Structure 1
Amino acid sequence: MEETCLEEGPAVNFERATLEIANTDPVRSTENADNISNQNSASRYVCNVPFKHIDVHTFFTDRNEVVERAISDCTEKLIKQNDDELVGSWLLTEISLWDTEKERLVLLSTKALYSIKYDFISLKILDFNRVPILLFDTIVTGDIIYPSSSLAPRLNGLAEGVSSVIHCAVRQEWSSIAGCSNLTQFEPRKRHMSGIRLMWNRGQPLPLIKKWNPFARNIPWLTYASHPLFWYKDGTEIVKTRFDIEVFNTTLKSLLPRESNVVNMPIIIENYCSLGALVHNRNGLGFFKVRGKISF
């Protein structure tokens, strides 16, 4: 297209001029750009969601005011009785020494951390663990991973592939079974989770009698990750922060004593070949959910 100057230069012939209407609405253009950007970022984010193929409405904690009532109940019975002050409250996923995921209500006070097993069906405290904040000597934050020699990622990939084929068959999507049975469905599955490990073992290794005992208690560390509802629950950002491990991490660090050592490195879950953890986690047995005609 030839450049035309209206102030100087030869006259311009307008006999064959055409009219073009362009979308020059800056507000609409900005909105469209933002929507595309949000969709792209959301799609990248969803690819790394660690909990897939779940129905959030089966969680009892998805119901209105259930978590709020539990926090109020635990604050009244645990924190106020110890003449303490509540700093923050979260619903998180606790990962045990044996790689089992459990739903835990975590209350942080000025003096201690409370990890509470709460029955969200009958609304009562089942068990709790109180750890004074001054006891924490090491805080590890980072991605949750398995050892390089672990079979857990391969078992998770195998379970995911078999589950996809079964879902296609149950829904009678026979034309999709070929795609569901693609070998990529059976590739090793990483956790795609970041977490925090709170330790008070003073650098001492765990005794073998505890390390290989699935019923051992008093393990000198706690490992947490975000709750599944963090990725799926609808609502404001204020609501979602209740399930977010990053917000918990920031609040806890502000209360730690100066001598505590904060380390950024991967958190290793020493699960080498645990079929029990695989069945437990895939079925969400550590969470209070509606399971058909029964709930637990």
Structure 2
Amino acid sequence: NVCFAWGFFFQAVDMWEDENNQEFETEELEEKHGGDIPEPRLATDVKDPSASASSASYPRPHVKQFMARKFFVTRPGAFDQAIEDINTHVTENAGETADSFWLLTEVDHWNNEKERIVVITDSALLVCKYDFIMLSCLQVQRIPLSHVARICIGQFTFPERSLSKREGEGLRIHWDNLKEPSFLSRWNPWSTEVPYVTFMEHPVKGSSQRFTDICQMSTFSAQLVQTIQKAQRKNPPPGNPMGVMVLNQPLLIDTYVGLMSFICNSNKLGYAIARGSFGF
């Protein structure tokens, strides 16, 4: 009952924010056009082939920009500060060299979305939980590249009778072929003993050229495979002389009801996001 109450509460807040955003955009357009809001033009209405595509597109691009600003990672200097903090952690604690930083969404084994900074170093993959509100690194999971056994790329799938749903493509990294998740690990939403991690693209991809680059899954996977192959040539993986395998196959998320993930994902609880102000 508490989960349902909180879920409806956050949904009501999001609906209230969307209505306010629409009112704000309407007032802005009224001021700009002297009280008359022009009707949106469709692509078929454009007769001049040299006309700008942006003038004929609908919905308006600035609406997407406004929604992207709700994520604290898009605030000026936030991601740069995260890079600086994580670089310090990597250098002082592991003595490694960070090759690249990526902003991705982790999808855990219970289908919950979690905002993550992923770092590819010369010898490991770092999955960082970073607080973009307080600008502090909360947790770092280190996956040695020499232990990565296979990388799977494909569409998300669920069991036949599952009520959970997720569209799109993801990437799953397995680092121990000899270890399978135990029964308790599969049914524990907070388990850290699952020997794989799954990523998809972050919602702010496309908000700017920079975020398009650091959220691009295809570029991330290409660099990750190249770095793993280079690391495994220097340090062959134990019990896997063939090295890392790259497979194209569906990514199964073994959940059936998905009530917890529905509440979490529909309200973006796994992201550092502005949720409105309460006061008078």
- After TM superposition, the score normalised by the length of structure 1 is 0.66
- Tell me by how many angstroms 1:83 deviates: 2.1
Contact 1:79-1:109 within 8 A present in 2 as well: no
Partners of 1:202 and 1:129 in 2: how far apart?
19
Partner SS, residue 134 of structure 2:
coil
Q: Does 1:196 align with 2:171?
A: yes
Q: Which contiguous aligned blocks of 4+ residues in structure 1 show a shift greater than 6 angstroms?
A: none
Query: Could you say which residue in structure 2 is the equivalent of 1:208?
Result: 183
- Tell me by how many angstroms 1:216 deviates: 1.8
RMSD: 2.6
Q: Which amino acid aligns with 1:287?
A: Y
Partners of 2:211 and 2:185 in 1: how far apart?
38
Partner SS, residue 291 of structure 1:
coil
Q: Which amino acid aligns with 1:77?
A: H
After superposition, residues 48-59 of structure 1 pair within 5 angstroms as 55-59=67-71
Partner SS, residue 271 of structure 1:
coil
Partners of 1:79 and 1:219 in 2: how far apart?
27
- Tell me by how many angstroms 1:252 deviates: 0.2
After superposition, residues 211-226 of structure 1 pair within 5 angstroms as 211-226=186-201
Flag the 1:57–1:272 CA change in 2: closer, same or farther, 3 A.
same
Q: Does 1:292 align with 2:248?
A: no
Pick from 134, 143, 150 the counterpart of residue 138 of structure 1: 150
Contact 1:89-1:106 within 8 A present in 2 as well: yes
Contact 2:201-2:217 within 8 A present in 1 as well: yes
Partner SS, residue 192 of structure 1:
coil
Identity among equivalent positions (%) equals: 28
- Tell me by how many angstroms 1:97 deviates: 0.9
- Tell me by how many angstroms 1:106 deviates: 0.7
Deviations 1:43-69 (A, max 9, x none): 9xxxxxxxx9x9222110111121111
Flag the 1:65–1:85 CA change in 2: closer, same or farther, 3 A.
same
Pick from 58, 65, 75 the counterpart of residue 63 of structure 1: 75
Of stretches 78-87 and 278-287 in structure 1, the one that deviates more from structure 2 is 78-87
After superposition, residues 1-296 of structure 1 pair within 5 angstroms as 29=49, 31=50, 35=53, 55-79=67-91, 81-153=93-165, 191-202=166-177, 204-231=179-206, 233=207, 235-236=208-209, 238-257=210-229, 259-293=243-277
Contact 2:90-2:98 within 8 A present in 1 as well: no
Q: Which amino acid aligns with 2:273?
A: K
Q: Which amino acid aligns with 1:244?
A: Q
- Tell me by how many angstroms 1:192 deviates: 2.8
Partners of 1:67 and 1:148 in 2: how far apart?
40
Contact 2:72-2:133 within 8 A present in 1 as well: yes
- Tell me by how many angstroms 1:278 deviates: 0.3
Partner SS, residue 74 of structure 1:
helix
- Tell me by how many angstroms 1:293 deviates: 2.7
- After TM superposition, the score normalised by the length of structure 2 is 0.70
Flag the 1:224–1:79 CA change in 2: closer, same or farther, 3 A.
farther
Partners of 2:159 and 2:228 in 1: how far apart?
29
Contact 1:140-1:264 within 8 A present in 2 as well: yes
